[in-house]
Amino acid sequence: MDSFTRSQERHVKPPKPVMALIPARGGSKGVPRKNILMVDGKPLIAYSILQAQASQRINRVIVSTDDEEIAGVAREWGAEVPFMRPPEYAQDLSPDIDVFRHALTWLQENQDYQPELVVHLRPTGPARRVYLIDEAVDLLAAHPEADAVRSVSLALQTPYKMWRVNPFGFLEPLFRLPGERDCQSLPRQQLPLAYWQNGYVDVIRPRAILIKKSMWGDCVLPLVLEEQILELDYPENIPPIKKALRSLNHTNKRNRKTPRRHPV
């Protein structure tokens, strides 16, 4: 068992304050107005708000939005909306860091408030277990040298067998391994494990955003999950999300068995 897993299993009193930030802009395209779409009896954003409220670590829940209707729904479900997000930070291609920098700067300048840790909960992934939020907070709290925790899943396809097409129309490897001329032809069991960031939950120290100008800083810890990851990006995503929400088992235990090889 590695040190990261051990740190999750021991009780760690997290620093205070711990703030959840839920970004929810109004201009979604694949599913219009999806952040307040009714999904199994609740607006989509309500699930993330309720999960943050149920957390044993989070003590402030803030929604960042540019949309008055979303702001009203968020307040109805118990979140704070102390500011409206400027339109320039609510575009299709607006990066997360602009949203988080604006929120942290506004809170510091207007309320003299800065959290020790910020929990990033995306409303488009509502099938989420609360105890995993708390595990992510505890993990970062136990490692003051780290700037962030990101939830990740084992990649279903190894990137060491992936290619890109260069400007001349030829294939070239996406990644290479030091000392291996042709890692693309190695058996998958000999290749390093790779993980993809799944957006389930992230925890960040403000210094990463405000000083290092990054959503993960210089040192990021993994919270490896085997959960099914569901995101509401298109209408066809709605039925499986409804099913997952109905079947969530709010247990305080998790399966810690980690696969040792890429599935393919």
| Domain enclosing residue 223, as ranges | 3-152+195-247
pLDDT confidence of residue 1: 37
In this structure, are 31 and 55 located in the same domain?
A: yes
Residue 30: per-residue pLDDT:
80
Q: Do 232 and 130 reside in the same domain of the chain?
A: yes
pLDDT score recorded for residue 188: 86
* Together in a domain, 11 and 102: yes
pLDDT value at residue 27: 83
Whether residue 125 is found in the same domain as residue 44: yes
Q: Is 167 found in the same domain as 73? A: no
Residue 119 CA to residue 54 CA, distance in Å, equals 13
Is 235 a domain residue?
Answer: yes
The whole-number mean pLDDT for each consecutive block of 10 residues of the chain, a chain of 264 residues, reads 42 73 90 94 97 96 97 97 95 94 98 97 96 97 97 93 96 92 90 94 98 97 94 94 83 50 54
In a domain, 15, yes or no: yes
Q: Tell me the torsion sign for CA atoms 36, 38, 43, 45.
A: negative
pLDDT for 15 equals 52
Alpha-carbon distance of 169 to 82, in angstroms, equals: 51
- Asked whether residue 162 falls in the same domain as residue 217, the answer is no
Look up the pTM and report it: 0.87
Q: Is residue 147 part of a domain?
A: yes
Annotate 181-193 with b (16+ C-beta within 10 A) or e (fewer).
eebbeeeeeebee
CATH number of residue 110's parent domain: 3.90.550.10
pLDDT at 89: 93
Do 180 and 94 belong together in one domain?
Answer: no
CB 197 within 8 A of CB 151: yes
Count of domains observed in the chain: 2
Does residue 167 share a domain with residue 75? no
The answer to whether residues 148 and 126 belong to one domain is yes
